[in-house]
């Protein structure tokens, strides 16, 4: 059974936590990933008391906190920058653990292939940094989700990063990029990620350039029972949009 939820990027980027919980519940959205810097204010800077309050608010809501979304990345040629991102990942993991949240999203981003350096070396560097982060996350019983994002979003590149990482606490956030689609199908790229997916970001379900029905069939066949989170633009009538989105998701996923 697939579960529909929301990424606060971009529809809910300016909503406070109360609005997120109210609107997700009204639209039948089951879960939310709170992306850092957004209006909800749930950040690693929260005090212990504030963390207890956030956890209690989710406990009393039908909406689950399924993830903390970070911008942590590990490709920089500057070792100090990489170390800063590893430290930021640990802080996000601590926040997730304190909130009872199962996962933290990290990413490759931008032009991750450094000029003059072989791509394979950059992928290994990302993987080695992730291994350190995964070890820390495992101690806090939190999963890391590596988003298929940036210039190394292709499944073959993500697979190379995971091979260099080699830690079971590091999984994948399937991001529904058009680069996944080969001859109208995502089956080939999905096969490389099968059994490694911890979270899914989904976009505009009306866009027939992406084979949504096939993706949802593949997820079900692989035993994935996690969250598929809507990453969609803002709307002046968000709850109405979310209700239509949920209905279309259920139809495409064979759950209508």
Q: In order along the chain (256 residues), what is the average pLDDT of each group of 10 residues?
A: 96 98 98 98 98 98 98 94 98 98 93 77 96 98 97 95 98 98 98 98 98 98 97 97 98 92
pLDDT of residue 120: 93
Q: Helical H runs in the chain?
A: 17-27, 48-59, 79-99, 119-139, 155-165, 187-193, 212-221, 238-252
- Going from the N-terminus, what domains does the chain have, and what CATH number goes with each? 3-252 (3.20.20.150)
Assign 64 to helix, strand or coil. Answer: strand
Length of the chain (residues):
256
This model's pTM is above 0.85: yes
87 contacts: CB under 8 Å, gap ≥ 6: none
Residue linked to tokens 């001859």: 183
pLDDT of residue 117: 82
**How far is residue 189's CA from residue 199's CA, in Å, rounded to a whole number?**
16
Determine contact, residues 55/99, Cβ cutoff 8 Å: yes
pLDDT of residue 115: 67
131 contacts: CB under 8 Å, gap ≥ 6: 164, 165, 166, 167, 170
**How far is residue 214's CA from residue 181's CA, in Å, rounded to a whole number?**
11
Neighbour count for residue 104 (Cβ, 10 Å): 27
**How far is residue 191's CA from residue 196's CA, in Å, rounded to a whole number?**
10
In terms of Cβ atoms closer than 10 Å to its own Cβ (0-12, 13-18, 19+), residue 42 is buried
232 contacts: CB under 8 Å, gap ≥ 6: 10, 11, 203, 204, 241, 245
**How far is residue 5's CA from residue 32's CA, in Å, rounded to a whole number?**
5
Residue 201: closest CA among 61, 10, 39, 1: 10
């Amino acid at each position: 059974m697939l579960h529909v939820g929301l990424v606060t990027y971009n529809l809910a980027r300016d909503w406070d936590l109360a609005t997120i919980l109210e609107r997700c519940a009204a639209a039948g959205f089951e879960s939310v990933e709170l992306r850092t810097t957004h209006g909800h204010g749930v950040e690693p800077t929260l005090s212990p008391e504030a963390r207890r309050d956030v956890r209690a608010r989710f406990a009393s809501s039908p909406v689950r906190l399924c993830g903390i979304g970070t911008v942590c990345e590990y490709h920089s040629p500057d070792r100090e920058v990489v170390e800063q991102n590893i430290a930021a990942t640990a802080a996000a993991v601590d926040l997730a653990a304190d909130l009872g949240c199962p996962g933290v999203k990290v990413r490759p981003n931008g032009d991750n292939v450094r000029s003059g350096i072989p791509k394979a070396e950059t992928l290994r560097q990302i993987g080695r940094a992730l291994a350190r982060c995964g070890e820390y996350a495992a101690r806090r019983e939190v999963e890391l989700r590596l988003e298929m994002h940036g210039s190394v979003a292709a499944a073959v590149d993500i697979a190379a990063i995971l091979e260099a990482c080699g830690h079971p606490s590091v999984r994948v956030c399937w991001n529904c990029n058009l680069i996944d689609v080969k001859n109208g199908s995502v089956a080939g790229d999905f096969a490389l990620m099968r059994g490694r997916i911890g979270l899914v970001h989904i976009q505009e379900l009306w866009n027939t350039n992406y084979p949504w029905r096939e993706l949802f069939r593949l997820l079900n066949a692989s035993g994935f029972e996690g969250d598929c989170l809507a990453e969609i633009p803002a709307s002046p009538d968000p709850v109405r949009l979310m209700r239509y989105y949920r209905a279309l998701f259920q139809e495409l996923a064979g759950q209508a």
